[in-house]
Amino acid sequence: MPLRQNGSLRQEDRVDMAPRLHRDALYIGGQWCGASTGDRLVVENPATEEVLGFVPAGGRVDVDKAVSSAAEAAAEWGSSSVDERIAVLRQLGSLLRASTPELAALVTDEVGAPIRFSEKVHLGLPVSVVDSHVSLLEQGALDDERIGTSLVTKAPMGVTVAITPWNYPLHQVIGKLAPAIAAGCTTVVKPSEIAPLSTFMLFDLLAECGLPPGVVNLVSGVGSDIGEALVSHTDVDMVSFTGSTRAGRRVAELAGTGLKKVTLELGGKSASIILDDADLDTAVKATVAKAYQNGGQTCSAWTRLLVPDRLYDEVLERVVTEAASFVPGDPREPATKLGPMVSGSQRAQVLDYIRKGEAEGAKVVAGGAYDVPGMTRGHYVPATVLTDVVPDATVAQEEIFGPVLSVLRYENDDDAVAVANNSRYGLAGAVWSTDVDRASRVARRLATGRVDINGAAFNPLAPFGGFKDSGFGRELGRYGLEEYLQPRSLQL
């Protein structure tokens, strides 16, 4: 049985090691069934570099079966009652809560996220997203709307495809499945080949939720193969993709030939702007945490810190002190705040960016491109701070996807906005000021989809999505639900 390698282990090591989790079936038409190829994907634990498990590498035959199953179920689920959909979502939320310890541990093992972060965010966010869709349905999000002499109704998009990344494997799937279920759509999920195991466990839970066969389907495999087959399939009505901008362009190209609806949540290079009247302690602590959360492997991470020139040295001293608290360690240990990169190739990419930053004139004042002392296994990168970074530098323009924070200077509010907007991305950002009105004025000028003011809490009911190369369409809340609906007007 051939193996496709995703990590850095040698082939003979992979074959000899007994995997902790071995999945040998796909979820299609309401049941687990063997894949057509016999191939499988190896999943590595990035903290130990050992095999964690295997999942099937599906083929185009499996894609056809899954899409056909979703298409056959579309009419029935599309005509289901709101109460039926609420019952499914409530059951899913209950099962996720009950399974949090096991699922959080699995996410930590396959992604390398610190266990406390896995419990709070990797599991906490999916639960809140499911709950929010229950609330939306209860509040009449699908109700007809009267506009003058017209009655506007909302029809489900039909068969949807969800292609998700490895960095937030559960949250990204739930962020697409919850609105699809709520809207009355059927779905085929294609998880990342790097971290698919938690999605398989999620489908174990979905199998208990009373959904009709074919409403949710799971096909794992390589994106360039089955991902493209799913996006191109003639019976698919909508594609929701989260991943790199490069892959997003390819998804849009393929989907465009079939005039399919597409939502894309892509890369980011978000700026955190400290205005000259900000609470520096709070702003620095929150920005550093946001830059390094999930190992920096977060599309909305605040990886550029913009500081007034006159406060630069003072802020930088605080940043370096705060960065020192993010010591790489075993992600299973509750005290660990910084785990490994998801793979050896990801680690190498991050280190290359640090070196390029230095070559272009940036100074490393914390961390750097070196092996972490005492860590003999695992894909670790130290928490890194780069100073003297100019706005057009590579490290200020490209998404590094690792624990690297670039600190930039600016002169005044207008200059801060110009530096923040000097990016092809526009996903998230932050503004810090004791004057909330001033902060809001600056935030409104940022070409980005989401801005946190003074560290405001994440709101699962607010729309999430980007401007420019960060994609289009929105997820979460009412705006995310509407992506899965087609308005239809009845002229009365």
Residue 1 has pLDDT above 80, yes or no: no
**Could you give the strand order of the β-sheet that contains 145-147, starting from the edge strand earlier in sequence?**
145-147, 150-156, 485-491
Residue 3 has pLDDT above 80, yes or no: no
Q: What is the CA radius of gyration of the chain?
A: 23
Listing DSSP states for 308-338 in one string gives EGGGHHHHHHHHHHHHTT--B--TTSTT--B
Integer angstrom CA distances of residue 468 from 34, 265, 354, 415, 451? 41, 11, 25, 20, 15
β-pair partners for 490: 151
pLDDT bracket for residue 210 (50, 70, 90): very high
Predicted pLDDT of residue 20 = 56
Cα 261 to Cα 241: distance, rounded to the nearest angstrom:
11
Residue 171 has pLDDT above 60, yes or no: yes
Nearest one of 30, 202, 231 to 100, comparing CA atoms = 202
DSSP conformation class of 402:
S
Residues 375-413 have pLDDT tens digits of: 999 999 999 999 999 999 999 999 999 999 999 999 999
Nearest one of 240, 115, 233, 123 to 170, comparing CA atoms = 123
pLDDT bracket for residue 223 (50, 70, 90): confident
SS3 of 239-261: the string is EEEECCHHHHHHHHHHHHHCCCE
Q: How far is CA 347 from the centre of its chain?
A: 18
Residue 155 has pLDDT above 50, yes or no: yes
**Which residues form the catalytic set?**
265, 299
Predicted pLDDT of residue 14 = 35
pLDDT bracket for residue 15 (50, 70, 90): very low
- Among residues of the chain, what percentage have pLDDT more than 90? 94
Residues 91-117 have pLDDT tens digits of: 999 999 999 999 999 999 999 999 999
Half-sphere exposure of 450 (CA within 13 A, CB side): 29
Cα 285 to Cα 422: distance, rounded to the nearest angstrom:
24
Predicted pLDDT of residue 12 = 37
Predicted pLDDT of residue 224 = 87
Residue 364 has pLDDT above 90, yes or no: yes
Listed in order, strand segments (DSSP E) in 411-478 are: 425-426, 429-432, 452-453, 467-468, 471-472
Q: Does residue 237 contact residue 158 with C-beta atoms inside 8 Å?
A: yes
Predicted pLDDT of residue 88 = 98
Residues 367-380 have pLDDT tens digits of: 999 999 889 999 99
Cα 302 to Cα 268: distance, rounded to the nearest angstrom:
9
Name the one residue in this structure whose structure tokens are 């930590």. Answer: 108
Look up residue 143 and give its amino acid: D
Predicted pLDDT of residue 357 = 98
N-term to C-term CA, the chain: 62
Residues 411-467 have pLDDT tens digits of: 999 999 999 999 999 999 999 999 999 999 999 999 999 999 999 999 999 999 999
Q: Does residue 340 contact residue 7 with C-beta atoms inside 8 Å?
A: no
Q: Does residue 273 contact residue 261 with C-beta atoms inside 8 Å?
A: no
| Structural domains in the chain plus CATH codes | 3-266+471-491 (3.40.605.10), 270-459 (3.40.309.10)
Residues 22-59 have pLDDT tens digits of: 999 999 999 999 999 999 999 999 999 999 999 999 99
Residue 253 has pLDDT above 60, yes or no: yes
- Give the predicted TM-score (pTM) of the model: 0.94
